[in-house]
Every structure is written in C-alpha cells, then in structure tokens.
Chain A
C-alpha cells in the first residue's frame, strides 16, 4: 500500500474515466435523484456530491461493478442521508396525530363536510391529464413536512420494507402508519384543491 500516497486524485483508475462521467451519467443520476426528491436544487447538489465523492474513492473502485452502478450506489447513500437530515429537522415540529385533525369529525370519525373526497373528473388514460396531475402532485409533495415526504418516497420509489424505513428514520411502526395515512390525506386534499 506504499504507493497509495503517490496516487492521490490524479490516479488514473484503469477501470474508470471520470472525464466522461458527466456526459455518460449526469442525466441518469439526476433523474434518479429527482424521482426520489422532487427538488431540482437538492438533486443537482447530490449529483455533484456524488461525482466528487466518486473521484475521491476512485482508487477503491475496482471495476467489479459497472461504473454506473457504483456511482448510483454512492448517490443512493447521499439521498438516504438527505432524507435522514430532513426528517430530523422536522421531527420536533410534527405531532402527526395533532395535525389536520379536522379531516374527520373528532367524535364520529366521519369525514368533515369540507374535506369530503370528490371525484377529480379525470380520465386516467389521458396522458396529458395525467401529466398535469403529476405536476400538481409535485407541488403538493413539496409542501409536505420533510419526514412525511421521506417516508412516502422511500416506501414508494424504493419499495423499501416498512421495518427498514423505521430503522433508517428512527420511527415506531405505529408512527410510520400514522405518517403514511396523514401524508396521503394531505396529498389527496391538496390535489383536490388545486385540480381544475
């Protein structure tokens, strides 16, 4: 390991050519991050961090996996870190059980009238309509508390087991389901409000 110090960042890995990274992988990694974060600035930052982290670990990249897979793994870790940080910030603010209590009547558990789910009146096979709905959904997602968004995204985009998400974000199972429920109630209400 003696010549390791000589290598430094200029080390040319026989398995990797960082100068071609942006060309080859930037769009892919950005898409990967965006589909999970729905936030352009954060996604850009994480893509940049991924490349820089990749450069620093270049000597450890042994070409056992595809370059793309390797970089994606780095990005995945960064996204998880981001979820964790964002959730921690929000943890104190939320008491999920208290928020939006008024979706339902406290006594009976019935929908309150102003929160009645109403049909969106859309055609699910109309791609333009679905696209429009998608962009409204993104705006609604941006309004969610960070912890809720993290839970929702980890569950659906990465299809992670609930237990794993609870461990990552330090949640109890009961809390996890309360958040999943609240998140969906909020997203649905937000869509109803902004659709049409």
Chain B
C-alpha cells in the first residue's frame, strides 16, 4: 500500500480536508479514490460530509428578500440623501 493511501485510510483530518476541497474545488483522481476508501469505512466522516454539504446549502439558501430594512432606518437614509442633494 502506498503511504498516501495508508495515510488517508486512517486519517479523518485528511479525509475531512479532502471533503472540503472536493465540495468547493477539485481533487485529483487519486484523492477521490483515497477519500472513497476512507468513507467506506468511516461512518463519522460520512456524517461530517452530509452536514458539511447541509451547512453550505443553508448558508447559500438565504435569499436577499429574507432581509428587510426597518422603516425608521429608511427614513433616516432618505433624510441623509436629501440633505446631501441640497448641500449646495
């Protein structure tokens, strides 16, 4: 067994690192294989992977329309713009 393979089979730190790299970027074919082998035998990292994907989904899931400004602030804002326009 190559040392890289040995390293990943037992190493959750490396496995979770590869999980993140795969989700947000790219990993090599060798890394994909290593990760697959690790996940086949590691239920804890499988839970991690599911939750990691979920976190991204929840984070991105907020829509712009989920956030609304309060009327008081809008009023202040309008006031400031008017003042700025009338400055000179």
A9 adjacent to B74 (CB under 8 Å): no
How far, in Å, is B85 (CB) from chain A's closest CB?
6
Assess whether A103 is interfacial by the CB under 8 Å rule.
Answer: yes
- Contact among A10, A124, A188 for B48, CB-based, below 8 A: A188
How far, in Å, is B26 (CB) from chain A's closest CB?
9
**Per-position 1/0 for A132-166, Cβ under 8 A of B:** 01100100010000000000100111000010000
Which residues of B are at the interface with A, using a C-beta cutoff of 8 A?
A: 7, 10-14, 16-17, 20-21, 24-25, 44-45, 47-48, 51-52, 54-56, 58-69, 73-74, 77-78, 80-82, 84-88
Q: What residues on A are CB-neighbors of B66 within 8 Å? A: 31, 34-35
Chain A contact residues, majority secondary structure? helix
Q: How far is the CA of A66 from the CA of B77 in the complex (A)?
A: 21
How far, in Å, is A120 (CB) from chain B's closest CB?
7
How far, in Å, is B27 (CB) from chain A's closest CB?
10
B47 adjacent to A22 (CB under 8 Å): no
How far, in Å, is B74 (CB) from chain A's closest CB?
5
Assess whether A193 is interfacial by the CB under 8 Å rule.
Answer: no
A184 adjacent to B10 (CB under 8 Å): no
Which residues of A are at the interface with B, using a C-beta cutoff of 8 A?
A: 8-10, 18-19, 21-23, 26-28, 30-32, 34-35, 43-44, 47-48, 51-52, 55, 103-104, 108-111, 116-120, 124, 130, 133-134, 137, 141, 152, 155-157, 162, 177, 180-181, 184-185, 187-188, 191
- Contact among A9, A30, A47, A52 for B68, CB-based, below 8 A: A30
| 22 CB-based A-B contacts, threshold 8 Å | A9-B84, A10-B85, A10-B86, A18-B81, A26-B69, A34-B67, A35-B67, A51-B81, A55-B85, A109-B12, A119-B47, A124-B54, A137-B55, A152-B59, A155-B24, A162-B24, A177-B21, A180-B21, A181-B16, A184-B16, A188-B48, A188-B55
A117 adjacent to B69 (CB under 8 Å): no
Q: What residues on B are CB-neighbors of A55 within 8 Å? A: 81, 84-85
Q: How far is the CA of A191 from the CA of B52 in the complex (A)?
A: 11
Q: What residues on B are CB-neighbors of A191 within 8 Å? A: 51, 55
